[in-house]
Amino acid sequence: MILAGAGLYYVAHQDRTPGPQLPHDSTKKTLVVLGSGWGATSFLKKLDTTDYNVVVVSPRNYFLFTPLLPSVSTGTLSPKSIISSTRYITRHKARQVAVIEAEAKSIDTTKKTVTFSDSSDIKGAVSTTTIPYDYLIYAVGAETQTFGIPGVKEHACFMKELQDAEKMQDRFLDCVESAGFLGQSPEEISRLLHMVVVGGGPTGVELSGELHDFLEEDLKFWYPELASRMKITLVEALPSVLPTFSKALIDYTESTFKEAKIDILTKTMVKEVKEKSVVLQMPDKTIKEVPCGMVVWAAGNTLRALTKDLMAQLPSVQTNRRGLTVDGHLRVTGADGIFALGDCTATSYAPTAQVASQQGAYLAKFFNKLAKKENILIEKQLLETTEVPEDQKAEVTDKLGAISKQLGKLENPRPFHYSHQGSLAYIGSEKAIADLPFMNGTFATGGLATYYFWRSAYLSTLFSVRNRTLVATDWIKVKLFGR
């Protein structure tokens, strides 16, 4: 125990006190990274910054581990446990990286510049600027799709950013406290305690499961008179929830929710969100207004305005409404020097963290090789143009031969190849589901053992020892003391 503690202290201390870094070098190419999510962070972690001046621009100065975000909305995890400072990552790089908390507002693909603004509440005298780039790594993700449905933006909670999870937690607890207010009518109590989750994709399912756990494990004891009146409804427009999971797991999730008394309304579409209700189009096309205390909107992704603007600059080649078209090396079609990855792109892969992080790692490797190639070309040019004494000519010829071989290896880099590691989701009641690649098919599993597998998989995927320690500690705290 003491040894493990000392080991952890040593690792943490080493991590917190990195050595000096190389300074900015005006002879190196400028690589601007937009975003600090899965794609950008995975890229930064693997990039060798020795040969680039890297500038990271993102409205949030941290990486958010989205798979565990629903757990923050119910207080299972504390917000800080699932974020890592971007500066912490860049501080460990060979050359200094500039991290700027700002939102990219426009990209000029002809001049190769990006303009960004400080969008936080507190601004200095300068809050907008434009910088040139040699390469732009475009990893701004996507935003939540609302389909322009009335009232969603005004009245619903979302589940995309850390603030969304915190807001949802506040709203949820507020509903419970207001339901307990003296003299509340039975109808009003039922309304306040009705939580509606919109979207039966993995986000909506995980959220419903987390809400159920909060109710069963904690609220039942704190509010015994109210807990039995709490209702969770999951609304999905398609015929089933989790359409991307295998049929057996869909059935398993639906039966687990039934046992947990989470109502699933499939083939039902939300048409409007009001302050105190949600308007549903039922499977028979009738319209029904259902009173509720909280609506959480998890209806999928849409492109950010910045991405739409970027595509509008390249109208003849960027025509896919799902996102940016990229080639096998993630180069944005029609834009010199821009590479895109993750949820902002339209590829054959699902918009997941797995894809974005593998793309980030691939691109870092691509740029590490590019730098190597450029350094070799400089060395080659130097050898070819320098006068060499007769007795050293054979040695130089050998060197040039070796260089040509090295260059040959660096030519034609391989295109990106995605390796699917499986799909996992937590469905509440200490049960998880997993579709895992097995032989040439899929192995579908669900239950308590899968839940422990889910926990260990995410614990090991977390980016730092700090996050792993905090998340594990939060889980123990909740088990011992509640939320």
Q: Which residues bind ligand NAI (CB under 6 A)?
A: 67, 149, 198-204, 206, 235-238, 243-244, 269-270, 298-301, 350-352, 423-425
The C-alpha angle with vertex 420 and arms to 208 and 463, in degrees rounded to 5, equals: 70
Q: How far is the CB of 344 from ligand FAD (least distance, A)?
A: 6
Q: How far is the CB of 82 from ligand FAD (least distance, A)?
A: 10
Q: How far is the CB of 57 from ligand FAD (least distance, A)?
A: 5
Please report, as residue ranges, which positions from 368 to 407 form the binding site for ligand FAD (by CB under 6 A).
none
The answer to whether residue 356 forms part of the interface with ligand FAD (CB under 6 A) is yes
Residue with smaller CB distance to ligand FAD, 94 or 353: 353
- In this chain, which of 203, 277, 325, 442 binds ligand FAD, going by CB under 6 A? 203
Residue with smaller CB distance to ligand NAI, 78 or 281: 281
Residue 219 DSSP class: I
Q: How far is the CB of 100 from ligand FAD (least distance, A)?
A: 9
Which residues, 6+ apart, have CB-to-CB distance to 96 below 8 Å? 21, 22, 23, 24, 49, 90
Residue nearest to ligand NAI (CB): 201
Residue 80 DSSP class: G
Give residue 311's identity as a one-letter amino acid code.
M
Residue with smaller CB distance to ligand NAI, 203 or 357: 203
Q: Which two tokens stand for residue 101?
A: 């908390």
Q: Which of 427, 22, 416, 466 is nearest to 200 (CA)?
A: 427
Q: How far is the CB of 465 from ligand NAI (least distance, A)?
A: 24
- Return the range that interacts with ligand FAD (CB under 6 A); candidates 9-17, 90-98, 350-358, 366-374: 350-358
Please report, as residue ranges, which positions from 127 to 146 form the binding site for ligand FAD (by CB under 6 A).
139-141
Residue with smaller CB distance to ligand FAD, 104 or 278: 104
What is the end-to-end Cα distance of the chain in Å, rounded? Answer: 27
Residue nearest to ligand FAD (CB): 37
Alpha-carbon dihedral 463, 15, 138, 53, rounded to 10 degrees: -160
Residue 297 DSSP class: E
- In this chain, which of 53, 256, 352, 467 binds ligand FAD, going by CB under 6 A? 352
The C-alpha angle with vertex 346 and arms to 344 and 347, in degrees rounded to 5, equals: 125
User: Do 128 and 105 contact (CB within 8 A), yes or no?
Assistant: yes
Which residues, 6+ apart, have CB-to-CB distance to 234 below 8 Å? 197, 200, 204, 205, 208, 241, 257, 262, 263, 264, 265
Calpha distance 244→44 (Å, rounded):
30
**What's phi and psi for 33, nearest 5 deg?**
-110, 125
Q: What is the three-class DSSP state of 231?
A: strand
Q: How far is the CB of 310 from ligand FAD (least distance, A)?
A: 10
The answer to whether residue 199 forms part of the interface with ligand FAD (CB under 6 A) is no
Residue with smaller CB distance to ligand FAD, 104 or 250: 104
Residue 452's Cβ-side half-sphere holds a number of Cα atoms within 13 Å equal to 2
Please report, as residue ranges, which positions from 141 to 170 form the binding site for ligand FAD (by CB under 6 A).
141, 159-160
Residue with smaller CB distance to ligand NAI, 298 or 371: 298
Residue with smaller CB distance to ligand FAD, 303 or 478: 303
| Other CB atoms within 10 A of residue 24 CB | 14
Q: How far is the CB of 169 from ligand FAD (least distance, A)?
A: 14
Calpha distance 49→230 (Å, rounded):
53
CA distances, 303 to each of 116, 201, 276, 320 (Å): 18, 18, 29, 11
Please report, as residue ranges, which positions from 66 to 125 form the binding site for ligand FAD (by CB under 6 A).
66-67, 69-70, 103-104
Residue with smaller CB distance to ligand FAD, 51 or 164: 164
Binding partner selected for residue 60 from ligand NAI, ligand FAD, none, CB under the kind-specific 5 to 8 Å limit: ligand FAD
- In this chain, which of 28, 37, 195, 416 binds ligand FAD, going by CB under 6 A? 37
Residue with smaller CB distance to ligand NAI, 37 or 201: 201
Positions in the binding site for ligand FAD (CB under 6 A): 34-40, 57-60, 66-67, 69-70, 103-104, 139-141, 159-160, 203, 304, 306, 342-343, 351-354, 356
